[in-house]
Chains A and B, each alone.
Chain A
C-alpha cells in the first residue's frame, strides 16, 4: 500500500519533470556539448604519446575517455543551484508542507534530464566514432549492466553530497560557493581529465579511500574494459552511500528546524 503510493508519486513526478525537460531541448543539448572536455584531454594524451608511460594503448585510452564522457553526462548534479534559488525565492515553504521530501522533486528532475540528454550524448559518441573508428567496441551485456549500475551509484553519491551542501542553505544563503569549492577536487581527482592510474604514487596511496575515483574513473574503466577491481569498486560506492545518506537525513532534519521561510 505505502510502497504503491510512493511508486505512484515518483512516477508522476518523473512524468511531469520529463515533459518539463523536453521543453528545454536546446539547453540540454548545450549542456551535453559543454561536457566534451574529456575529448580535449584525450587529444593531449594521444598527440604527445603520453599513454606509453602508463601502458595503456591508444584505443583503450580513447575508450576510457569516451566512457568518462558518458559517465559524466549521466552523473551531473545541480541540486545546490536549484535548491539555493528556490530557498532564496521562498519557494521551499510550500514544498515543505507537502507530504513529500522536496529532494524527491529534484531527484526526479535529474533523472528526467538524464533521459532527455541520452540522445544528445549518443550523437556526440557517434561523431567520436567517426573520428576514431578503431575505438569502436561492444561491451558484453553483463559489463554494460554493471556499469549502468555503477554510473547510477556515482550519480547517487554526488546527489547526496550536493544535497548535504544544499542543506547548508538553511544556515548561509549562498551554499553554491561551497559547491564550487567541492567541484575542484571532483574535477581533478575523479578521472575526468586523466585516468587515476596515471596519478603519481603519493596520490594513488590515499585516493582510493576518498569517494572521488568512484565517481568517474571506476565506472569508466568498467565500461571501457580497462583493468579495474569490480567488486571492490561497487562495495566502496555502496559504502559511501551508506555513510552519506544518514548524514543527509541528519542535516535535513536539523535544517528544517532552523528554516525561517525567506522571501515571504
Chain B
C-alpha cells in the first residue's frame, strides 16, 4: 500500500515537472544538439588518442567506444534526474524551504531526489543506447540471457553509486550552505569515466577506485559487455553500490539533525 502511494506521488511529480519543462521547447532542442556535439567531441578526442596507437591501456578503439556509450547513458540519467533535483537541495536549504519538504507526510529523501525531471536528458540516454547497439554490432557481442542480466545488474549498480555520490555532496549543503561548486568538482572527476581505468597511472587508478569509485561506474559494465569481466569484480561492484546507497540514506538522516532552517 505504501509503494502504491509513492508510485502515485511520483506520477504527479512527472506530470508537473514535464509540464513546466516543456514550456521551453527550443531549450530541449538546444540541449539535444549539445548532447550530440558532446558525444562527437569525445569520440574525436578518443580518435586522437588512437591515431598512432592500436591500444590504450589494453583497450582497442571499438572497445573504448563502449565506455563512451555507457558514460553517455549515465550522463543522460544524471542530467535527467540527479542534476535538476540535487541542485535544488542547495536552493531549499539556502532559502529555508526545506521546512516545507520535511513537513510533508512523505519520505524527504524520496521527495528531494525525484521531484523534478529534465526531459532533454532522455535524448542523451537514447543517444547512448544507439551508440551501445552500434558497439555491440562492431564488437560482435552475442546477446544471451546471462549477459543481459549481468549488464543490467552492473549498470544498475553504477546508477546507484552515481546517485549516492551526488546525494552525498548535495547533503553537505546542510553544513556549508553553498556547495554547488563541490558538484562541479564531482563533475570534473566523473569526466574520467569516459576513459578505461587502465589507461591511467597506478596512483590515479587507486584513487579512482578507492576514494571516488568512478572506476566501478563505467569500466566494469564495459568489461561485462566485452566478456572480460571477472566474477569478483561484479560482486565487488554490488557490494560497493549497496554500501554507498545505505550510507547515503544514513548520511541524509544524520545531516537532517543539524538542519536549523534559514531566516527564522
Does chain A have a CB within 8 A of B88?
no
In the complex the two chains form, is B51's CB within 8 Å of A53's CB? yes
Rounded to whole Å, the gap between the CB of A45 and the closest CB of chain B is 8
User: Which residues of the other chain, A, contact B178 by a CB distance below 8 angstroms?
Assistant: 24, 27
Does chain B have a CB within 8 A of A15?
no
In the complex the two chains form, is B48's CB within 8 Å of A44's CB? no
Contact with B along A3-44 (1 / 0, CB 8 A): 000000000000000000000101100110111110010011
Most B CB atoms within 10 A — which of A24, A33, A172, A184?
A: A184
Binds A, one of B96-104, B146-154, B192-200: B192-200
| Docked pose: A199 CA to B44 CA in angstroms | 9
Rounded to whole Å, the gap between the CB of A83 and the closest CB of chain B is 17
Which residues between 51 and 78 of chain B lie within 8 Å of chain A, taking CB atoms?
Answer: 51-53, 56-57
User: Which residues of the other chain, A, contact B37 by a CB distance below 8 angstroms?
Assistant: 181, 184-185
Does chain A have a CB within 8 A of B6?
no
Does chain A have a CB within 8 A of B1?
no
| Docked pose: A93 CA to B42 CA in angstroms | 41
| Docked pose: A26 CA to B179 CA in angstroms | 9
Rounded to whole Å, the gap between the CB of A192 and the closest CB of chain B is 10
User: Which residues of the other chain, A, contact B187 by a CB distance below 8 angstroms?
Assistant: 34
In the complex the two chains form, is B181's CB within 8 Å of A36's CB? no
Interface size on A, residues (CB 8 A): 37
In the complex the two chains form, is B53's CB within 8 Å of A53's CB? yes
User: Which residues of the other chain, A, contact B30 by a CB distance below 8 angstroms?
Assistant: 177-178, 180-181
Rounded to whole Å, the gap between the CB of A3 and the closest CB of chain B is 37
Contact with B along A45-66 (1 / 0, CB 8 A): 0111110110000000000000
Interface size on B, residues (CB 8 A): 36
Does chain A have a CB within 8 A of B47?
yes
Rounded to whole Å, the gap between the CB of B34 and the closest CB of chain A is 5
Does chain B have a CB within 8 A of A234?
no
In the complex the two chains form, is B41's CB within 8 Å of A185's CB? yes
Does chain A have a CB within 8 A of B17?
no
Minimal Cβ-Cβ distance residue in A for B24? A174
| Docked pose: A26 CA to B177 CA in angstroms | 11
Given contacts A24-B178, A43-B204, A200-B51, contact A194 B45 (CB under 8 A): yes
Does chain B have a CB within 8 A of A187?
yes
In the complex the two chains form, is B191's CB within 8 Å of A31's CB? no
Contact with A along B138-173 (1 / 0, CB 8 A): 000000000000000000000000000000000000
In the complex the two chains form, is B200's CB within 8 Å of A181's CB? no
| Docked pose: A125 CA to B33 CA in angstroms | 36
In the complex the two chains form, is A44's CB within 8 Å of B199's CB? yes
Interface residues in chain A, defined as those with a beta carbon under 8 Å from any beta carbon in chain B? 24, 26-27, 30-31, 33-37, 40, 43-44, 46-50, 52-53, 172-174, 177-178, 180-181, 184-185, 187-188, 193-194, 198-200, 203
Kindly list the 6 A-B residue pairs having the minimum CB-CB distance in the complex, ordered from nearest: A53-B52, A188-B41, A30-B181, A34-B184, A184-B37, A34-B188
Q: 8 other contacts beyond A40-B204, A47-B57, A185-B41, with CB at 8 A cut-off? A: A30-B184, A31-B184, A34-B184, A37-B188, A49-B53, A50-B56, A172-B26, A198-B51
